[in-house]
């Protein structure tokens, strides 16, 4: 077994990739061939060969495989029940909600309990781990993704082993009896420590302390968090080996130098401290990886056992996945192990480093390169310059910020003037540093928007990376350069792919009640949007960014889109133009095209101006040609003195089909267009106004005879769209209907030979 | 468990990018002992492999003068530098009969032959420097033969051409005694093939040249040498 633990860790890793990609036989085959190679070159014996091979099957059954059809619903949805069970997690508190995991007694399933109640009471929520509760709330299964590249909440919960959610209205609906449990005590201790830090320290310092020592990021300014995320620095905000290492160094220093303990005693203390610390630090997988790794190292020193680093990492990996099979789906877990493995395997290369800077660069390079395909898979981009920035930021954090935050735990015992002095020093210096990163962010923020990465490309990437690293290890620099070039070529291929693809798409995104269409021409000759709606707050009428963040942005990034050639905004209603401001902020938009009667006082319009958008007014009968593609403006003919009727009506040919985008026009305007443009062929019509009965005129349908009608409409919307009579009318005229509320996003996919319509949800 | 042949500590295989996938070689020495073996690095004397900045070291120049420009030895290739650690290791191997310990050098010997004598070996034969009968009885094996056997898988390439008359241990002689000693070898057979002599240590190069002189005189076209250690 010794020297071979990694075989089982890899077997688990491969089987989970096989589960996620659905390529069972491919991975099993590769696994088998590799083991055969190891066996015949006498690296492993027959027992190892057989057990490693069959462990693949074991893990394949061990990890839960997501099947949307087979997701169990232990309770009917949307009904209020009283559930009884046990709290089995720490209580997570944020500004607007409180949540925890709950083991329900009857079904023995784990449920996520959420209490949306910004009342002071929930802050004082007195219950903790292992409390027995009766909870009155509504059962919900988490929503599934209905758009390409959208984060799939249902899958996420499933992979975390949670069967559903209980939404609780008021803190009074949760009645528990606390029971003693060591975990409960630790969690309570953590809560008190956090509370104490908040009370005694400057809020900014306490925010950093909470994040870097206790693994609670809620105190970090959101802008800073996003900044760190953009620049591949998030690993600093999640507690990992770096943090644990620094904290252990400080603890060791104190107990050996100051308290004069013996080394053996110190080791025993640290061994007991580590698991407790992992819990105090929020119990994220990266903390567990780092703490358990330290535990293994210490035990080995103690017992004088010898194990290779890869063995140690594998043992920690296997311990964690056997402890909780769901942890393997955790993004932080995957990143953490992949980076550590890369660093371990590169030790020979690190030895070749000429100086500290060189070493820092090498470490940063490996850490970033290891996760590129995963980063692309989850986030659709990566930041190449992050490698350089890390070289500066990591030492700053490890030498200053993290030790300072740890030492600041003692600040409540220091005199006030000293605390104020130290705090001011920290805040000034840290502000300077964050401003420095912000300045870099402004100057050279050039993320590499890759879109979704295919399994094949990811395999090529890792193959060339491994070959390059083998060559570098052996100082075969010419080979290393060759493989490095192949690696670069692979990455280049990822960006160039859309430009050499003959496939084009028209996508009706499912954004709920509202419109958002994305048109992508073949060979990426042009990317156009027609509308970008948002949901909005019914009191303030402010657009929310959730549609943008959860639907529009992931779709565009998933397709590797950074530049939008033009956005047509049909009219000034938030369900059609609420997300435009966010799109302008995050993407390179060349032009926004609106109808001629657009209200210049419209708040969104003003925001766009401030964001520097170039705005064009399109008049009826205009032919708008952008990137060689023409859109014909069929309306509005004149000012209808009604925003819906003033909608920009667009006619265009895409993928040999003729399209009519109608915005929210009413029946009268439809008739007007039908009589003016009766000679036009229409294959696909965007059904006006989400299927409202004020639109979809019979005369209009009779004139154009469209084959397909696309309806963008919210599930169970408050207007009752689409209306039954509209659907009947469409049916009478033989129009095949596609609708977002039932089918999710709808895509028209075409190339030179064929074209087809594909709804995201198959029903 | 795999233990170090020298210090008996458990050996831990630290994987790197290559060995993670190939499973790595079976290590005979632990990391610490391995690091004490000093391999010869460039620049070396092109003739005798002594680490030296000039292309021809002073030793070799002296030999040139000694043979008036007609040195019977074409070239020597060596793998390791002589140091205390290696001295002990070789002593344990050859004087105290730890035969298995020799396998520590196998990979390096194979590499050196492949790298330096690959082309030569198609025609040449390998000739180990013999031990005298009494030494052979004492030690039970000839270290030069052991090296030759590790160098090639083709046993037919290895031929015995000499017999040793002298009984004195080289290690106990001074430099002058060695160089001016009378030739300790007697040729048993002659050969018209190129010869690669094999010995464990090259100190002054006298032994090899005694053998080489006999070979050249009996019609051998060229004599090369491989020695595990360059003193």
Q: Which option is the CATH number for A69-180: 2.40.50.140, 2.60.40.3880, 3.40.50.300, 3.30.1360.30?
A: 2.40.50.140
Which of B16, B24, B26, B34 to mutate to test binding with chain A, by most A CBs within 10 Å of its CB? Answer: B16
A77, A154, A392, A709 from A388: Cα distances, Å: 50, 37, 7, 51
Cβ-Cβ contacts under 8 Å, A41 against chain B: 22-23
Same domain? For B31 and B50 the reply is no
CB–CB of A131/A87 below 8 Å?
yes
Instruction: Provide the 3-class DSSP secondary structure of residue B147.
Output: helix
- What is the maximum alpha-carbon separation in chain B? 57
Q: Give Cα separations from B231 to B78, B128, B136, B142, B169 (angstroms).
A: 10, 18, 23, 19, 16
The domain containing residue B77 runs over which residues?
40-230
Report how far apart, in Å, the C-alpha atoms of A108 and of each of A105, B82, B208 are. Answer: 5, 71, 83
pLDDT score at A119: 64
The span from the CA of A105 to the CA of A127, in Å, is: 18
The residue ranking higher by pLDDT, A600 or B79, is B79
- Residue B14 near chain A (CB below 8 Å): yes
Query: Is the pLDDT at A359 greater than 70, yes or no?
Result: yes
**A541-551 pLDDT per residue, tens:** 889 999 999 99
Distance of CA A568 to the CA centre of its chain: 28
User: In the predicted model, what is the mean pLDDT of residues A663-686?
Assistant: 96
CATH number of this structure's domain A501-754, picked from the four choices 3.40.50.300, 3.60.15.10, 3.10.20.600, 3.10.129.10:
3.60.15.10
Show the tokens assigned to A61: 């059954």
The residues spanned by each domain of chain A are 5-63, 69-180, 187-449, 455-497, 501-754
Number of neighbouring beta carbons within 10 Å of residue A719: 14
How far is residue A211's CA from residue B17's CA, in Å, rounded to a whole number?
34
Residue A391's contacts (CB-CB under 8 Å, 6 or more residues apart) are: A357, A360, A361, A364
- Angle between helix axes A455-473 and A356-379 (nearest 10 degrees) is 170
Calpha distance A632→A626 (Å, rounded): 11
User: Which residues make Cβ contacts (< 8 Å) with residue B66, sequence separation at least 6?
Assistant: B179
The number of angstroms, rounded, from the C-alpha of A348 to the middle of its chain's C-alpha atoms is 35
Residue B172: both structure tokens together: 């106990």
Name the closest residue on chain A to residue B25, using Cα atoms. A43
- Of A67, A74, A68, A60, nearest in space to A23 by CA: A60
Helix H or strand E segment including A508: strand A504-508
* Share of residues in chain B with pLDDT > 90 (%): 44
Q: Strand pairing of A162-168 and A97-104?
A: unpaired
The answer to whether the Cβ–Cβ distance between B16 and A346 falls below 8 Å is yes
Shortest alpha-carbon distance between residue B106 and chain A (Å) = 18
Please tell me whether residues B1 and B30 are part of one structural domain: yes
Inter-chain CB proximity B14 and A2 less than 8 Å = no
> Which of A710, A715, A713 has the alpha carbon at shortest distance from A758?
A710
Is the distance from CB of A241 to CB of A340 less than 8 angstroms?
A: yes
CATH number for the domain including B139?
3.40.50
Cβ–Cβ of B22/A306 closer than 8 Å? no
d(CA A118, CA B221): 98
Task: List residues bridging with A626 in a β-sheet.
Answer: A629
Element (H, E) at A81: strand A80-87
Query: What was the pLDDT predicted at A705?
Result: 95
- A347: which chain B residues are within 8 Å (Cβ-Cβ)? 14, 16
Who contacts A83 (Cβ-Cβ below 8 Å, separation ≥6)?
Answer: A102, A104, A105, A111, A134, A135, A136, A137, A166
Residues B30 and B46 occupy one common structural domain: no
CB contacts of A474 in chain B (<8 Å) are: 18
Q: Which of A49, A345, A473, A480 should be substituted to probe chain B, the one whose Cβ sees the most B Cβ atoms within 10 Å?
A: A345
Compute the distance between CA of residue A94 and CA of residue A91 in angstroms, rounded to an integer.
10
Q: Give yes or no for residue A18 having a pLDDT over 90.
A: yes
Model's pTM, two decimal places? Answer: 0.86
What is the percent of chain A with per-residue pLDDT over 90, rounded to a whole number? 75
Looking at the fold, whether B95 and B129 belong to one and the same domain comes out as yes
Q: What is the pLDDT of residue A1?
A: 72
Query: Region A717-740: what's the mean pLDDT?
Result: 95
Q: Give the nearest chain B residue to A472 (CA atoms).
A: B17
Contacts of B22 in chain A (CB under 8 A): 41, 43
pLDDT confidence of residue A247: 92
Contacts of A33 in chain B (CB under 8 A): none
**Closest CA–CA distance from residue B28 to any residue of chain A (Å):** 14
Of B25, B21, B22, B44, nearest to B34 by C-alpha is B25
In this prediction, residues A245-256 reach a mean pLDDT of 91
pLDDT at A551: 97
* Cβ distance of B14 and A309 shorter than 8 Å: yes
Angle formed by the axes of helices A356-379 and A331-345, to 10°? 150
**B197 and B87: one domain?**
yes
Please give the tally of structural domains in chain B.
2
Complex-level ipTM beyond the 0.95 threshold: no
pLDDT of residue A126: 86
Q: Answer yes or no: do B17 and A470 touch at CB < 8 A.
A: yes
Q: Does B97 touch chain A (CB under 8 A)?
A: no
Q: How many CB pairs under 8 A join A and B?
A: 45
Residues in chain B with CB shorter than 8 Å from the CB of A34 are: 21
Same structural domain for residues B82 and B140? yes
State how far the alpha carbon of A216 is from the alpha carbons of A191, A289, A331, A399, A597, in Å: 11, 17, 17, 21, 50
Q: Do A44 and B23 touch (CB under 8 A)?
A: yes
Q: Which residues of A touch B21 (CB under 8 A)?
A: 34, 466
Instruction: Note whether B65 and B179 are same-domain residues.
Output: yes
Which pLDDT belongs to residue A166?
93
Q: Is the pLDDT of residue A122 over 60?
A: no
| Residue position matching structure tokens 């594909």 | A758
Q: Considering only residues 129 to 148 of chain B, which have any Cβ-Cβ distance to chain A shorter than 8 Å? A: none
Asked if residues A116 and A94 have their Cβ atoms less than 8 Å apart, the reply is: no
Evaluate whether A593 touches A616 at the Cβ level (below 8 Å): yes
- Which residues in chain A are contacts of B25 at CB distance < 8 A? none
Question: What is the pLDDT at residue B170?
Answer: 66
pLDDT in tens, B90-127: 999 988 888 889 889 998 999 999 999 999 988 899 99
Tell me the two tokens of residue A601.
């006082």
Mean pLDDT value of segment B55-63 = 89
- Same domain for B131 and B25, yes or no, is no
d(CA A453, CA A465): 16
Give me the residue label for tokens 């371990």: A344
**With an 8 Å Cβ cutoff, are A345 and B1 in contact?**
no
State pLDDT tens for residues A518-534.
Answer: 999 999 999 999 999 99
Residue A549 DSSP code: I
Residue B15: which of A2, A306, A310 has the nearest Cβ?
A310
Do B114 and B1 lie in a common domain? Answer: no
Asked whether residue B104 falls in the same domain as residue B184, the answer is yes
Judged by DSSP in three states, A760 sits in coil
pLDDT band per the 50, 70, 90 thresholds, residue B1: low
Closest CA to A492 of A466, A457, A541, A530: A457
Which tokens go with A328? 């393997």
């Amino acid at each position: 077994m010794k020297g071979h633990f990694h075989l089982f860790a890899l077997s688990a890793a491969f089987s989970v990739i096989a589960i996620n990609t659905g390529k069972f036989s491919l991975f099993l085959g590769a696994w088998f061939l590799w083991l055969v190679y190891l066996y015949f070159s006498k690296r492993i014996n027959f027992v190892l060969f057989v057990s490693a091979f069959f462990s693949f099957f074991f893990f394949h059954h061990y990890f839960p495989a997501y099947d949307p059809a087979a997701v169990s619903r232990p309770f009917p949805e949307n009904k209020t029940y009283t559930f009884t069970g046990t709290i089995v997690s720490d209580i997570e508190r944020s500004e607007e909600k409180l949540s925890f995991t709950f083991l329900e007694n009857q079904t023995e399933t784990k449920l996520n309990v959420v209490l949306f109640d910004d009342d002071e009471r929930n802050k004082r929520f007195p219950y903790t781990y292992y409390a027995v509760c009766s909870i009155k709330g509504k059962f919900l299964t988490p929503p599934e993704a209905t758009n390409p590249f959208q984060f799939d909440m249902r899958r996420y919960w499933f992979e975390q082993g949670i069967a559903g959610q209980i939404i609780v209205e008021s803190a009074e609906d949760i009645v528990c009896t606390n029971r003693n449990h060591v975990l409960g005590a630790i969690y309570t201790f953590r809560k008190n420590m956090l509370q104490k830090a908040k009370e005694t320290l400057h809020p900014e310092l306490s925010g950093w302390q909470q994040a870097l020592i206790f693994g609670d990021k809620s105190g970090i300014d959101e802008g800073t968090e996003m900044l760190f995320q953009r620049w591949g620095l998030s690993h600093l905000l999640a507690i990992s080996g770096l943090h644990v290492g620094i904290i252990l160094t400080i603890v060791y220093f104190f107990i050996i130098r100051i308290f004069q303990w013996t080394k053996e005693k110190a080791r025993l203390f640290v061994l007991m401290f580590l698991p407790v610390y992992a819990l105090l630090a929020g119990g994220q997988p990266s903390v567990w990886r780092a703490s358990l790794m330290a535990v293994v190292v210490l035990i080995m020193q103690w017992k004088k056992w010898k194990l290779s680093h890869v063995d140690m990492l594998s043992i920690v990996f296997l311990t964690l996945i056997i402890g909780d099979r769901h942890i393997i789906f955790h993004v932080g877990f995957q990143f953490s192990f992949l980076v550590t493995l890369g660093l371990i395997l590169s030790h020979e290369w690190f030895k070749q480093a000429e100086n500290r800077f060189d070493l820092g660069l090498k470490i940063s390079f490996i850490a970033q390169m290891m996760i590129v395909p995963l980063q692309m898979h989850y986030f659709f981009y990566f930041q190449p310059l992050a490698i350089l920035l890390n070289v500066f930021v990591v030492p700053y954090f490890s030498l200053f910020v993290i030790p300072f935050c740890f030492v600041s735990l003692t600040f409540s015992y220091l005199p006030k003037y000293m605390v104020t002095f130290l705090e001011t020093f920290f805040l000034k210096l840290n502000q300077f540093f964050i401003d420095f990163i912000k300045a870099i962010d402004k100057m050279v923020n050039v993320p590499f928007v890759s879109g979704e990465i295919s399994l094949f490309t990811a395999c090529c990437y890792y193959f060339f990376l491994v070959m390059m690293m083998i060559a570098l290890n052996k100082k075969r620099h010419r080979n290393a350069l060759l493989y490095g070039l192949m690696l670069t070529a692979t990455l280049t291929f990822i960006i160039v792919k859309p430009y050499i693809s003959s496939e084009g798409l028209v996508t009706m995104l499912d954004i709920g009640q509202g419109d958002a269409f994305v048109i992508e021409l073949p060979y990426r000759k042009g990317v156009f949007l027609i509308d970008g709606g948002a949901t909005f707050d019914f009191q303030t009428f402010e657009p929310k960014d959730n549609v943008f963040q959860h639907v529009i942005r992931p779709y565009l990034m998933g397709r590797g889109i950074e530049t939008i050639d033009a956005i047509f905004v049909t009219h000034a209603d938030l369900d059609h133009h609420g997300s435009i401001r966010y799109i302008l902020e995050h993407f390179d938009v060349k032009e926004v095209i609106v109808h001629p009667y657009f209200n210049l006082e419209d708040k969104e319009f003003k925001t766009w101006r401030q964001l520097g958008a170039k705005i064009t007014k399109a008049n009826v009968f205009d032919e708008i040609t952008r990137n060689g593609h023409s859109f014909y403006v069929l309306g509005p003919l004149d000012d209808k003195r009604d925003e819906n009727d003033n909608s920009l009506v667009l006619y265009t040919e895409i993928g040999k089909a003729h399209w009519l985008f109608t915005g929210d026009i009413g029946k009268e305007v439809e008739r007007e267009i039908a009589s003016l443009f009766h000679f036009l062929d229409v294959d696909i019509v965007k059904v006006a106004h989400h299927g409202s009965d004020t639109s979809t005129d019979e005369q209009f349908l009779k004139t154009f005879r469209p084959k397909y009608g696309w309806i963008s409409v919210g599930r169970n919307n408050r207007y009752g769209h689409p209306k039954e009579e509209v659907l009947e009318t469409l049916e009478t005229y033989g129009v095949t209907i596609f609708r977002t509320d039932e089918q999710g996003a709808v895509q028209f996919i075409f190339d030179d030979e064929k074209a087809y319509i594909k709804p995201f949800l198959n029903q | 468990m795999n233990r170090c042949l020298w210090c008996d500590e458990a050996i831990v295989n630290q994987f790197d990018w290559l060995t993670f996938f190939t499973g790595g070689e079976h290590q005979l020495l632990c990391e610490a002992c391995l690091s004490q073996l000093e391999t010869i690095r460039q620049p070396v004397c092109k003739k005798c492999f002594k680490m030296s900045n000039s292309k021809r070291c002073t030793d070799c120049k002296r030999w040139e003068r000694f043979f008036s420009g007609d040195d019977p030895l074409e070239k020597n290739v060596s793998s390791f530098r002589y140091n205390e650690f290696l001295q002990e290791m070789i002593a344990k191997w050859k004087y105290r009969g730890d035969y298995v310990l020799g396998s520590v050098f196998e990979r390096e010997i194979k590499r050196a032959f492949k790298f330096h004598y690959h082309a030569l070996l198609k025609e040449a034969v390998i000739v180990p420097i013999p031990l005298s009968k009494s030494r052979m009885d004492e030690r039970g094996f000839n270290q030069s033969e052991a090296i030759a056997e590790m160098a090639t898988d083709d046993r037919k390439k290895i031929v015995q051409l000499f017999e040793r008359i002298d009984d004195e241990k080289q290690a106990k002689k001074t430099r002058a005694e060695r160089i001016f000693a009378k030739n300790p070898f007697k040729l048993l057979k002659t050969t018209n093939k190129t010869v690669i002599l094999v010995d464990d240590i090259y100190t002054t190069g006298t032994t090899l040249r005694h053998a080489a002189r006999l070979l050249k005189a009996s019609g051998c076209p060229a004599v090369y040498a491989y020695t595990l250690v360059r003193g």
